[in-house]
A and B are shown apart, each in its own frame.
Chain A
Amino acid sequence: MEGGSMAALARLQARLSGLREEYYRRNRSIDEDRKIEYKAAVKIQSWFRGCRVRAYLRHLNNMATFIQKWWRGYRSRRYFLKTVKTAYFIMKMNFYNEVAVRIQKRWRGYYVRKYIHNYYALKKYLEAVSMNNEFVRNELQQYTEMKENEEKRKDLEKKEKEKQYQARKMHYLLSTEQIAGIYNSPFRKSPDPMELLLRKSKPLSHKRQQMKSPFTSELYDWPTCRRPPIFSTAEPLPPIGRQKPQGPFRDTAEVLQQRYKPLEPTLRVAASINSPLEKAREEMKMEEWRNRVHDNEFLPFSSYHKNEKYDPSICRSGRYGQETYGIKHFREVQPKKWIAGKDFQTVSPSIVLFEKLGKTYSRTGQIV
């Protein structure tokens, strides 16, 4: 191998100068082109990179638009939905309100007409009021008429009394058998009514008219204080000194004592008219009445013994059973010793009263 390589080296060395030239030439041409190539490469690269970035940006933009599109779409769809819902809601509410108003209107109208401003009730009430008024007016009218009548009657009575009093006063004008009075003119057919009245009435007696009690009249007049005082005039002044009356009179005190002496009855008059026996009875009755606690006699309650358990007596509750005596028979009966089947005839006469028992009677008491 060594040989071979030596040869190669020799060849190379032979060619070295050419090579060097060629090398230089080649480098030179390369250097000459290098700038152009570099620029071209940069251009290519920049274009490519620009393309790539633009594409990327475009892609990004597209993506953003896409996202925005979707987002906006979503949002506005949501908004729209909401708006529609609201509008629907409002529409619904309006409808409901309208309906509610309609219902309320009806109800309120009904309610007010029925309970608050019931026209018919009002009309009825007013009619009732006017009827009541009419009634009250009638009543009051009657009342006043009654009052007026009473007044008239009183007046008439007063006048009548006055007339009668006058007739009594003028009784002396009565005509006699012989002389006709002034009311009984002989030229007339019938006498004057006054004459008739005179005939009926009695003349006034000569007795003085009874004085009115000063007390009552004064009481009546007093509050006005217009009339002169009566209470001072009626009483006489207190006597200052009194003379002894003339004549053989007894002493005043003695007379008065005799006049007003107390009653002194005799023993017989003073005693009671009831007999002492009756009195004693009365006394006893009173005593009894006093001593009794209360009037009603004490009676045991009928229901008092109801719940009481019956306690058998010793002979009835014996160990050997009950004796029949007192329950089934009250007399010892020994049928074995009987001779005949029926009772003996009684010897003593029957009591008449008992004979009549259970029979029918006639009216007169005979047995039929």
Chain B
Amino acid sequence: MSQRQVLQVFEQYQRARTQFVQAVAELAARPQNIETLQSAGVMSLLRPLLLDVVPTIQQTAALALGRLANYNDDLAEAVVKGDILPQLVCSLSEQNRFYKKAAAFVLRAVGKHSPQLAQAIVQCGALEMLVICLEDFDPGVKEAASWALGYIARHNSELSQAVVDAGAVPLVVLCIQEPEIALKRIAASTLSDISKHSPELAQTVVDAGAIAHLAQMILNPDAKLKRQVLSALSQIAKHSVDLAELVVEAEIFPVVFTCLKDSDEYVKKNGATLIREIAKHTPELSQLIVNTGGVAAVIDCIGSCRGTVRLPGIMMLGYVAAHSENLSMAVIVSKGIPSLCACLIEEHEDHIKAAAAWALGQIGRHTPEHARAVAESNVLPTLLAMYTDIRSSEDLQIKTKKALKNILQKCTYLPALEPLLHDAPPNIMKHIVGQFSKVLPHDSKARRLFVTTGGLKKLQEIQAEPGSLLQEYINTINNCYPEEIVRYYSPGYSEILLERLENYHPVS
């Protein structure tokens, strides 16, 4: 036995380990293999390989573990229960960058499934190590660490607070300023995840000076980065007026409006969300957006896309219109109503329809002028149809009802109200008839039209409870007409006439 033969044994063993771990890592990349791998007891085999003498094997083992944990939460739990995390965390600070990346990947894969698993990671003391990784020279390591932190912070405000307490925010803000696009994306997403839970967390992110850097990157050509940046800004702005004002002060208007024209759907959606989050706070902020032409941009955006991308834009219009009548008028002037009507008709999902109905209600509820603008677009029958449709969801019904009520209570545009008389349920009918009873006593032309279009006939057919508000309105309208006309249009008048004919005996 020569020395060479002895060494060959070792080399073979090492090669075999390497092959095994690489094969497992590759197999774990495909979801259909995972069941088999799990039943073959891959966890218990990978764990010792994490402590292998050869760094390559360690890294590949960590990568395989990460992929397994990424697959579902059972496997992630198995990783936690197998006491693998403390090993990872301990070696995170000592190993080379490849290992760090792989380890951060495992932490991320475990932490993404549930708050409990993320909590388990936090309890291992992984946050401190990840924060140290954020200071690493290699951008890949930073990225991996930032991503893991983001996934941990995503779940709830306690975990997010833990991430903040570990001192991650300033380093993540530094990461945004790195030249690598991928790192910027991940860092922006992490900031978004951290700041989404509470105003305090958002304030922490703001205090680290994130807004200025985020605002600069709105014009970045990379669409994915833009998505994350806009999302982060909207998560910051959504909490309070002060934060929204800070975001506005970073001069994001009118730059953000270019995002609404982006080819990427998510950029559009996140841009609209950002504008919505700012507009919803105060009339002043809404006014600012209106003055910079934001409403037109949002309306164009609504018109140019389909599905859920529209939702934030629709809500933004609703919020702006809800603040004051002038702003509502601005929405009308910007031709917002036709696009909202288009949304109402085109969309298939109930929640988008509900949002459009709500926005229309907010636009039309201020003055008769506003209500007329809404009514002229012939949207009231559509709203009514949605309200009476059995298939529409409860939320949609409530929203349409409120919108109808808001608009009808202000509407004095009778031609739009006429068609509703024929198929409105009593609780809506009350408002319609109420509007007629307010207008008809003062408008002779309208009185005439009301008779000729058959409105009066319809009115007489309504079965109202005596003493109710509806009956009162009907009486008010009846009082505007001569008695004969009212009687002529009352149901059963022909029978009365016939009866009189029978009882009549000509005097001969």
Most A Cβ at <10 Å: residue of B15, B56, B144, B182: B56
Q: How far is the CA of A147 from the CA of B258 in the complex (A)?
A: 10
Chain A residues with Cβ below 8 Å from B180 are 219
Asked whether A241 lies within 8 Å of B3 as measured between CB atoms, the reply is yes
Asked whether A231 lies within 8 Å of B59 as measured between CB atoms, the reply is yes
CB-defined A-B contacts under 8 Å, sample of 10? A122-B329, A126-B333, A136-B254, A140-B260, A219-B182, A222-B143, A225-B66, A228-B29, A232-B22, A237-B54
Known contacts: A228-B25, A241-B4. The answer to whether A136 contacts B290 by CB under 8 A is no
Interface residues of chain A: helix, strand, loop or mixed (majority): helix
Q: Which residues of B contact A (CB under 8 A)?
A: 3-4, 7, 10-11, 14-15, 18, 22, 25-26, 29, 54, 56, 59-60, 63, 66-67, 70, 98, 101, 105, 139-140, 143-144, 147, 180, 182, 186, 254, 257-258, 260-261, 263, 290-297, 300, 326, 329-330, 333-334
Q: How far is the CA of A231 from the CA of B18 in the complex (A)?
A: 13
Closest to B300 in A: A137
Asked whether A222 lies within 8 Å of B26 as measured between CB atoms, the reply is no
Asked whether A223 lies within 8 Å of B186 as measured between CB atoms, the reply is yes
Asked whether B7 lies within 8 Å of A229 as measured between CB atoms, the reply is no
Chain B residues with Cβ below 8 Å from A225 are 29, 63, 66-67, 70, 105
Q: How many residues of A contact B (CB 8 A)?
A: 34
Chain B residues with Cβ below 8 Å from A229 are 22, 25, 59-60, 63
Q: Does A125 contact B (CB under 8 A)?
A: yes
Closest to A219 in B: B140
Question: C-beta contact mask, A115-151 vs B, less than 8 Å → 1, else 0?
Answer: 0000000100110011011111101100110010001
Q: How far is the CA of A144 from the CA of B264 in the complex (A)?
A: 12
Asked whether A133 lies within 8 Å of B60 as measured between CB atoms, the reply is no
Q: How far is the CA of A219 from the CA of B143 in the complex (A)?
A: 10
Most B Cβ at <10 Å: residue of A129, A222, A241: A129
Closest to A129 in B: B330
Say which residue of B140, B293, B330 sits within 8 Å of A135 (CB atoms). Answer: B293
Chain A residues with Cβ below 8 Å from B26 are 228
Q: How far is the CA of A237 from the CA of B140 in the complex (A)?
A: 24
Asked whether A129 lies within 8 Å of B260 as measured between CB atoms, the reply is no
Q: How far is the CA of A223 from the CA of B258 in the complex (A)?
A: 29
Q: Does A188 contact B (CB under 8 A)?
A: no
Asked whether B63 lies within 8 Å of A223 as measured between CB atoms, the reply is no
Question: C-beta contact mask, A207-249 vs B, less than 8 Å → 1, else 0?
Answer: 0000000000011101101101101110101101100000000
- A22 CB to closest chain B CB (Å) equals 120
Asked whether A133 lies within 8 Å of B11 as measured between CB atoms, the reply is no
Asked whether A143 lies within 8 Å of B143 as measured between CB atoms, the reply is no
Asked whether A223 lies within 8 Å of B182 as measured between CB atoms, the reply is yes
Q: Which residues of A contact B (CB under 8 A)?
A: 122, 125-126, 129-130, 132-137, 139-140, 143-144, 147, 151, 218-220, 222-223, 225-226, 228-229, 231-233, 235, 237-238, 240-241
Asked whether B257 lies within 8 Å of A136 as measured between CB atoms, the reply is yes
Q: How far is the CA of A143 from the CA of B98 in the complex (A)?
A: 42
Closest to B98 in A: A231
Chain B residues with Cβ below 8 Å from A147 are 261, 263
Known contacts: A140-B258, A222-B101, A237-B14. The answer to whether A133 contacts B293 by CB under 8 A is yes
Q: How far is the CA of A297 from the CA of B330 in the complex (A)?
A: 70
9 tightest Cβ-Cβ pairs between the two chains A and B: A136-B293, A133-B296, A232-B56, A144-B261, A132-B293, A240-B7, A126-B333, A231-B98, A129-B330
Asked whether A126 lies within 8 Å of B329 as measured between CB atoms, the reply is yes
Say which residue of B15, B60, B143, B326 sits within 8 Å of A223 (CB atoms). Answer: B143
Say which residue of B3, B56, B139, B258 sits within 8 Å of A143 (CB atoms). Answer: B258
Q: How far is the CA of A229 from the CA of B140 in the complex (A)?
A: 14
Asked whether A129 lies within 8 Å of B140 as measured between CB atoms, the reply is no
Chain B residues with Cβ below 8 Å from A134 are 296
Chain A residues with Cβ below 8 Å from B300 are 137, 140
- B454 CB to closest chain A CB (Å) equals 37
Q: How far is the CA of A140 from the CA of B253 in the complex (A)?
A: 13
Asked whether A140 lies within 8 Å of B25 as measured between CB atoms, the reply is no
What 6 additional pairs, Cβ within 8 angstroms, besides A133-B333, A228-B29? A132-B292, A136-B257, A219-B182, A225-B70, A233-B22, A238-B54
Closest to B334 in A: A133
Q: How far is the CA of A147 from the CA of B262 in the complex (A)?
A: 9
Q: How far is the CA of A25 from the CA of B99 in the complex (A)?
A: 180
Asked whether A232 lies within 8 Å of B18 as measured between CB atoms, the reply is yes
